[in-house]
């Protein structure tokens, strides 16, 4: 049978179907038939497994990647340095999974609130800034309504878009954590706002559910340098887009944050 040329409309429809299902990046030129397993000799299997793990971390092991991130982060003396160090860092597996660029932060680095979300999404990846998609715009509106808009510096637990808008893994978060911690240490905010379970669990190092910890003040304390700040977890804005009735809960948390800052006597133009 003569192979037929691909039908462009059918191909586009198929790609759109996969994109809607979350498949938004390709890593290989040809598909891999995962239903067929050809076992290589055991010695090659170990070599292959460790080579593919180090390839994920830019040629390093996971532990080496964290050490490299710590080294780069420690040398950063300003937020601009942190941004440059992140752009130069090759140890986060997400970097090689279809992300266009590193997405670090936006907002006021001298403000009183460090806001931490989960991960950049598609719009953030395109524009190189966090919280600029629909969920970010909702976050901006909530903060503005509470009079906090110019007090906030926004970032995420990871700095590259995860494929298919999935949650970042603990390993990806661990590789990025030294930069997040450095930003925290440089900023020394009066409060930290954690959006969503992935941010809350990773920063507070807890397995407790978001519904249990949201609205409660916890402390984020770095192991070194004596840096700490009260941290409040709340629901993720992407959840609010799907469940608008939950905005009430987030609004209560944001008012608690504003009142905490009032008590901490924040300078309006800080």
Give the number of residues in contact with ligand URA, rule: CB under 6 A.
14
CB of 183 to ligand URA, least distance (A): 14
Does 131 participate in binding ligand URA (rule CB under 6 A)? yes
Q: What is the CA radius of gyration of the chain?
A: 21
Q: Give the interface segment with ligand URA, choosing from 84-92, 116-124, 173-181, 249-257 (CB under 6 A).
A: 116-124
Strand pairing partners for 153?
Answer: 107, 114
Q: How far is the CB of 18 from ligand URA (least distance, A)?
A: 22
The two most distant CA atoms of the chain are separated, in Å, by 78
Query: 155 pairs with which residues across the strands?
Result: 116
Calpha distance 25→57 (Å, rounded): 18
Contact in structure between 234 and 214 (CB atoms under 8 Å): yes
Among residue numbers 148 through 167, which ones bind ligand URA (CB under 6 A)?
A: 156
Candidate list 93, 111, 136, 168; residue touching ligand URA; CB under 6 A: 136
Please give the Cα distance from 157 to 155 (Å, whole number).
7
CA–CA distance, 129 with 155 (Å, rounded to integer) = 9
Select the residue interacting with ligand URA from 118, 172, 181, 253 (CB under 6 A).
118
Candidate segments 120-128, 173-181, 205-213, 257-265, binder of ligand URA by CB under 6 A: 120-128
CB closest to ligand URA, residue no: 117
Of the ranges 9-17, 59-67, 126-134, 202-210, which one interacts with ligand URA (CB under 6 A)?
126-134
Distances (CA, A) of 170 to 71, 147, 161, 176, 255: 20, 33, 15, 10, 30
Residue positions counted in the chain? 270
- List helix spans (H) across 6-159: 8-20, 42-56, 62-74, 79-88, 122-127, 134-145
Reduced to 3 states, what is the DSSP secondary structure of residue 49? helix
CB 178 within 8 A of CB 158: no
Q: How far apart are CA 30 and CA 131, in angstroms?
A: 34
Among 68, 124, 172, 181, contact with ligand URA (rule: CB under 6 A): 124
Give yes or no for residue 172 binding ligand URA (CB under 6 A): no
In whole angstroms, the minimum distance from the beta carbon of 154 to ligand URA comes to 7
**Residue 117 interacts with ligand URA (CB under 6 A): yes or no:** yes
Segment contacting ligand URA by CB under 6 A, of 22-30, 75-83, 112-120, 258-266: 112-120
> What character string, x for contact with ligand URA (CB under 6 A) and - otherwise, covers 195-234?
x---------------------------------------
Query: Shortest CA distance to 205 belongs to which of 193, 217, 219, 191?
Result: 219
Residue 112 touches ligand URA, criterion: CB under 6 A: no
Positions touching ligand URA (CB under 6 A) are 117-121, 124, 130-131, 133, 135-136, 156, 195, 238
């Amino acid at each position: 049978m003569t192979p037929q040329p691909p039908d462009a409309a059918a191909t586009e429809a198929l790609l759109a179907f996969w994109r809607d299902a979350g498949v938004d990046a390709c890593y290989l030129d040809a598909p891999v038939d995962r239903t067929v397993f050809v076992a290589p000799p055991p010695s090659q299997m170990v070599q292959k497994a460790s080579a593919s793990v180090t390839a994920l971390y830019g040629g390093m092991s996971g532990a080496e990647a964290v050490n490299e991130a710590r080294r780069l982060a420690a040398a950063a003396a300003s937020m601009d340095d942190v941004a440059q160090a992140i752009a130069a860092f090759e140890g986060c597996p997400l970097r090689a999974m279809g992300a266009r660029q590193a997405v670090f932060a936006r907002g006021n680095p001298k403000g009183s609130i460090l806001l931490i979300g989960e991960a950049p999404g598609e719009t953030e990846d395109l524009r190189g800034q966090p919280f600029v998609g629909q969920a970010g715009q909702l976050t901006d509106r909530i903060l503005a309504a509470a009079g906090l808009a110019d007090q906030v510096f926004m970032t995420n637990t990871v700095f590259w878009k995860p494929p298919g808008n999935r949650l970042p893994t603990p390993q990806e978060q661990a590789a990025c954590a030294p930069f997040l911690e450095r930003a925290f240490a440089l900023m020394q905010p009066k409060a930290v706002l954690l959006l969503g379970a992935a941010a809350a669990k990773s920063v507070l190092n807890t397995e407790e559910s978001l519904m249990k910890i949201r609205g409660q003040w916890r402390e984020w304390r770095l192991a070194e340098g004596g840096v700490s700040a009260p941290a409040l977890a709340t629901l993720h804005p992407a959840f609010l887009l799907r469940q608008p009735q939950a905005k009430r809960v987030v609004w209560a948390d944001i008012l608690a944050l504003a009142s905490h800052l009032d008590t901490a006597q924040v300078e309006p133009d800080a």
